Chain A
Amino acid sequence: MQALLLTAALIFFAIWHILAFDELKTDYKNPIDQCNTLNPLVLSEYLIHAFFCTMFLYAAKWLTLGLNMSLLAYHIWRYISRPVMSGPGLYDPTTIMNADILAYCQKEGWCKLAFYLLALFLTTYMA
């Protein structure tokens, strides 16, 4: 049950990201503000996901763990290769408006949404 709630939270994060980048793209928001709101979310999302992975580990759900480990590895890589920043987070307001990066972030958001939906489905099905 808790897992469901947490997955829902992750899905929420993913949707939030997609919306935020869409707002940026359509010129609704200043990138500085947007990055300031997004950056704290990144780490919490990663932590929740890491928490999931440990739960799966304890529950010995190897299949789901294997699936989630790949995302965890991606998260770690992504955080290591983030731009030079003093605070937590991933997004740099000076580069976020670059069309490539923005498109990448949006795509990342959609993929994650799909992944979390799948995870939600799996957990409900398997639990």
Chain B
Amino acid sequence: MSAPSGSPHATAGARTPPRPGVAVAPAALASSGPAPARQNGPAQSQMQVPSGHGLHHQNYVAPSGPYSLEPGKLASSLPDGQCNDYYSGLYTLPAQKVATPGAASHTGAQQVYCGGPPAPPLLGTLPGPVPGATVAASHMHTSASQPYPSFVNYYSSPTIYTASSSAASQGFPATCHYGVSAVSNAVHPSVSYSSLPPGDPYTQVFTSQSALATGPGRKGSFPGQNAAPSRPSALAAPLPPQHLQQQSLAGYSALSWSVPGLPPTQDKLIRNHSGPLASASSSPANPGVDSSSTTSSASPVPNSYDVLEGGGYPDMHSSSASSPAPDPVPEPQPVPTPTAPQSAKVAKPFGHSYPALQPGYQNAAAPPTSGVQPGAVPYAAFQQYPQQYPGVNQLSSSLGGLSLQSSPQPESLRPVNLTQEKDVLPPTPIWAPVPNLNLDLKKLNCSPDSFRCTLTNIPQTQALLNKAKLPLGLLLHPFRDLTQLPVITSNIIVRCRSCRTYINPFVSFIDQRRWKCNLCYRVNDVPEEFMYNPLTRSYGEPHKRPEVQNSTVEFIASSDYMLRPPQAAVYLFVLDVSHNAVEAGYLTVLCQSLLENLDKLPGDSRTRIGFMTFDSTIHFYNLQEGLSQPQMLIVSDIDDVFLPTPDGLLVNLYESKELIKVLLNALPSMFTNTRETHSALGPALQAAFKLMSPTGGRVSVFQTQLPSLGAGLLQSREDPNQRSSTKVVQHLGPATDFYKKLALDCSGQQTAMDLFLLSSQYSDLASLACMSKYSAGCIYYYPSFHCTHNPSQAEKLQKDLKRYLTRKIGFEAVMRIRCTKGLSMHTFHGNFFVRSTDLLSLANINPDAGFAVQLSIEESLTDTSLVCFQTALLYTSSKGERRIRVHTLCLPVVSSLAEVYAGVDVQAAICLLANMAVDRSVSSSLSDARDALVNAVVDSLSAYGSAVSNFQHSGLIAPASLKLFPLYVLALLKQKAFRTGTSTRLDDRVYAMCQIKSQPLVHLMKMIHPNLYRIDRLTDEGAIHVSDRVVPQPPLQKLSAERLTREGAFLMDCGSVFYIWIGKSCDNNFIEDVLGYPNFASIPQKMTYLPDLDTLSSERTRSFVAWLRDSRPLSPVLHVVKDESPAKAEFFQHLVEDRTEAAFSYYEFLVHVQRHICK
């Protein structure tokens, strides 16, 4: 076709005659086009949008030029005094400020710290018998606000900048890619870190709500605790010695000890544990600790904990830990523990100290109280515990080296007869198991929300792993929104010389001058600058530096970590405006959202934005500052796409804001009368790639139908009659590699494509999704979207867009995952391009992206007792800083099969299995994947039965750690992605698979196994307090229709959608108070919100729903489902324990599994 060579320049005269909608092409370029009536080549037309803008600044050139030098990219270049000023604010995030001293407009995320919830300190001082949760919640807030004072101290010491000697500059090659990210934006006060190591004043203990729920002050709140009744029997059973090992999993002990008869004990016990935490972070009894005094805040380790360590590790108490409570247990009455700062300057010899733990681990004779500090008052209560269970005394092993909550037998190994146990699902949310490490390491370890391993006890050899028949892998959520994160602005970033590992809390200091890498065991020198500890303002304490005190840190990287100057934030929107799209009406929603959030788009003064629309032609919009109106340029030569003008298509957001607003206001109505039904998506994407390739950035593609023109056109592959087939599901893979290739090209140019598919018909998501999968984008799918006929989808789009547009974003990112020598990465799951064996190339990174990694054990790990994993995410923040976010996870190595089973993280395992099953369905077939899932249960349970449990039971025996495994696998088999027999549209199925691959664990778990609550009888019992709201905590119900009583109302939390099911004879008071209708009959069929009523039950319900909503990025849509309405089926398909026409009930599934095992 006509390939106008000089096309980009032909539009020099493009600013001339305003002719609405008509393309006027320069004559030379108008040659034979596909449609004779339409001109080929760059044409231009001015939209008839009134606008009173003069033609000033005509000569402004948008690309890079004057803005390429962002002030303050390198924090070290700043004068010290300036830094001091910046750090003086109590809640300000120092590094952030350093980075952009010039940018007055800190928007969005970065202001979390300024706007963060400064808790009322009064609450923390409440003494005595206040309901535990209240105070605990206030602790949460105060602790959130505490760290910064000390931060201030740290950064305000000018010496850190002056002392930055270049002596230790290691000359990092510019090609190192490991990045990091900034502080997160979303303020989720309810975010829970069940084992966040509160190692130092930076990281504070974030006790989560549900963690709080397990806390004291809620006696009897676990009446049906299944752990309780079975304990005595488990003890009486003849267990092999290793069953009697102490269990230090805090979560489990908290669960299993909350027997109604024991609450006082538990109270004291827990208090004991978290006492120092409270005193360190918010106890009024310890003002010295509170108020950021540099010396005491760094090391208020109470003496008693030294003893608790078992006395065997005099050098383990190296200060650091201000609060030794890794478990999510709050503290109602801060116990003023003596804060005797331990200034142990000896290095932490992890290497030899951990092995010492092993003997105590198996030693089964010592009394359980041997390690307890007798002087501490609360421990007296603890001593009552063994008296209540005399058997415990003899059976329990020594406390040495283990954490306080060691129960006599590992709760996670307690055999559970699944066929007899009726309620496997605990009434409280399930927590990630805490690795069985010693206290010091435990509190330093990475939060399970960011970093989880399917086996918290790593088997020593591949043979042992094979025997256990469990998947080994990591689940990552590296760019998660964090409410606090130590950001380190140091001239040097200390890394291992041979494997490039970042220094982390799990390295060992051989002496003051040398440290030993925990991944490759190389001995490295400690750089001179690192010797100075800004926290304590002392010299010679490298092990107290924040890098060594936090397993999640963020470095501001120097220019060594840049291949080019950090890019600006660039956003391009590629919009489908064919008849189908206009009919669906998404443009109105999108433009409205964009107009609302234009100022909140993450970025700095260099932020650029552009728009393209397409039907059978591609339309560009010249928004160059100075134009009176946006100018539309039409390219109809879709076989050879070119950019009609070299600049003006991507414009500076702030300089052209008026034009952008004019365009956004005009866009929804511009194409109302279009009759064009074709969609040239492929060529439009090629054009977008050309437009973005000089800078990189984010392309948001909105598509409403199958692409039907030009490159990348697709045919309908779905046979509607096969939707409910039980046999073969075809076409799960892409039909063409066009989108994949394009994505790889984009990825190479640091451009990510995010796909919003809003279609009413089959659109071959399997092929289209490739554009996002390999360019590290994200995929949103709105089936049967229509802005008036389907208002709930429109609402969802609007909410999703709000989050999408305003959430944090990292550009030109790479993520490297390292692990201890002997382990190796096998397969990665997520949206990215794998550039080498351990390096993922991510054009963009967003806070909602999760990743999974399968691991294999290549060499035996017999000579080590700990393994570590480190992910480093190197990215450019939207403010143009290069940052590295590093997470480090440390796990113990075990040699027996029983210990491997004791440490299974069943949620992580199920998520990894789901990822593997998606791969299997695409590469092999869906039925293969389903078989593999069933086999995973069969194999692991039969391996457990034959190797570990020596009970001769008729039932199906599983360790307690795996008791939910069959249920989750069943839920997975009934998930949209893998179900058969139920009518499932191909696109829905593929979308579910895409989500499984890219969602982080927390969200994925809700997709697989939703949470069901009864909400018509919410009480304040056990409620938690979140920012002045009382949030009731109803118990979880199992997903079965037998739990749905007609008199009740139930809320199902499926992650992206909430259903409220109203029973037929539901109490009219509830309907009136909460829903605002007099009786059941008058509730409308489509109700998607809860009215703001001034009643107690309405308030409770709303605060509970709001609390659930707050905890996730994409605001879920709420559906009120009446018992009789047709929408009921939607709700009932999530009841996974029930039988459906095509699938087993839970009990049937267990029998099925059992039959397989017996074979």
Contact = CB atoms under 8 A, between A and B. Distances in A.
Interface of A: 24-25, 27, 30-32, 83-86, 92-94, 97-100
Interface stretch (B740-748, B886-894, B959-967): B740-748
Interface string B261-294: 0000000000000000000000000000000000
Interface in B833-866: 833-837, 839, 856
A86 B834 contact: no
A85 B737 contact: yes
A104 to B, nearest CB: 12
A30 B747 CA distance: 13
Contacts of A85: 737
A93 B745 CA distance: 12
Contacts of B774: 94
Given A84-B737, A86-B741, A97 B826 contact: no
25 contacts: A24-B836, A27-B837, A30-B836, A31-B834, A31-B836, A83-B737, A84-B736, A85-B737, A86-B736, A86-B738, A86-B741, A92-B740, A94-B833, A97-B828, A97-B835, A97-B836, A98-B826, A98-B827, A98-B834, A99-B824, A99-B825, A99-B826, A99-B837, A99-B856, A100-B827
Contacts of B856: 99
Contact of A97 (B735, B736, B837): B837
Contact of B740 (A27, A94, A100): A94
A70 B725 CA distance: 37
Contacts of B824: 99
Interface string B811-842: 00000000000001111100001111101000
Contacts of A31: 834-836
B734 interface: yes
Given A32-B748, A94-B740, A99-B827, A84 B835 contact: no
A98 B736 CA distance: 21
Nearest to A93: B744
B427 interface: no
A27 B836 contact: yes
Contacts of B837: 25, 27, 97, 99
B733 interface: yes
A97 B834 contact: yes
Given A84-B735, A86-B737, A99-B856, A94 B744 contact: yes
Nearest to A32: B744
A18 to B, nearest CB: 17
Interface in B138-162: none
A32 B743 CA distance: 12
Contacts of A94: 740, 744, 774, 833-834
Query: Which 5 residue pairs of A and B lie closest in terms of their CB atoms, listed nearest first?
Result: A97-B834, A27-B836, A99-B826, A98-B827, A85-B737
A59 to B, nearest CB: 40
A30 B834 CA distance: 9
Interface majority SS (helix, strand, loop, mixed), chain A = loop
Given A32-B748, A97-B828, 19 more contacts: A24-B836, A27-B839, A30-B835, A31-B834, A31-B835, A32-B744, A83-B737, A84-B733, A86-B736, A93-B744, A93-B833, A94-B744, A94-B834, A97-B835, A97-B836, A97-B837, A99-B824, A99-B827, A99-B856
B775 to A, nearest CB: 11
Contacts of B735: 84
Contacts of A86: 736-738, 741
A35 to B, nearest CB: 10
Contacts of B748: 32
Task: Sort chain B's interface into a size bin.
Answer: 20 to 34
Nearest to A94: B774
Contact of B826 (A24, A30, A92, A100): A100
Interface of B: 733-738, 740-741, 744, 748, 774, 824-828, 833-837, 839, 856
A30 B856 CA distance: 23
Nearest to B743: A94
Nearest to B919: A98
Nearest to B854: A99
Nearest to A29: B836
Contacts of B736: 84, 86
A97 B854 CA distance: 13
B854 to A, nearest CB: 8
B520 to A, nearest CB: 15
A27 B500 CA distance: 14
B734 A84 contact: yes
Contacts of A92: 737, 740
A97 B748 CA distance: 16
Contacts of B828: 97
A24 to B, nearest CB: 8
A25 B858 CA distance: 15
A99 B741 CA distance: 21
A99 B826 CA distance: 5
A97 B827 CA distance: 8
A85 B735 CA distance: 9
A85 B834 CA distance: 18
A27 B177 CA distance: 13
A90 to B, nearest CB: 13
A85 B733 CA distance: 12
A98 B735 CA distance: 21
Contacts of B738: 86
A42 to B, nearest CB: 16
Nearest to B834: A97
- A32, A93, A97 — which one has the most chain B CB atoms within 10 A of its CB? A97
B710 to A, nearest CB: 15
A27 B737 CA distance: 25
A84 B740 CA distance: 10
A47 B856 CA distance: 37
A12 B839 CA distance: 30
A83 B737 CA distance: 9
Contacts of B826: 98-100
Nearest to B747: A32
Nearest to B833: A94
A84 B717 CA distance: 15
- B738, B774, B828, B837 — which one has the most chain A CB atoms within 10 A of its CB? B837
A86 to B, nearest CB: 5
A72 B836 CA distance: 32
Contacts of B744: 32, 93-94
Contacts of B825: 99
Nearest to B738: A86
B1035 to A, nearest CB: 42
Contacts of A83: 737
A46 B824 CA distance: 33
- B734, B744, B824, B839 — which one has the most chain A CB atoms within 10 A of its CB? B744
Contacts of B733: 84
Contacts of B740: 92, 94
Nearest to B826: A99
A5 B895 CA distance: 55
A33 to B, nearest CB: 10
A24 B839 CA distance: 12
B222 to A, nearest CB: 44
Nearest to A103: B826
A27 B825 CA distance: 13
Nearest to A35: B744
Contacts of B835: 30-31, 97
Nearest to A99: B826
B947 to A, nearest CB: 27
A97 B741 CA distance: 16
A83 B736 CA distance: 10
A29 B735 CA distance: 28
Contacts of A99: 824-827, 837, 856
A85 B734 CA distance: 10
B796 to A, nearest CB: 30
Nearest to B838: A27
B743 to A, nearest CB: 9
A118 B835 CA distance: 36
Contacts of A32: 744, 748
A94 B733 CA distance: 13
A94 B737 CA distance: 11
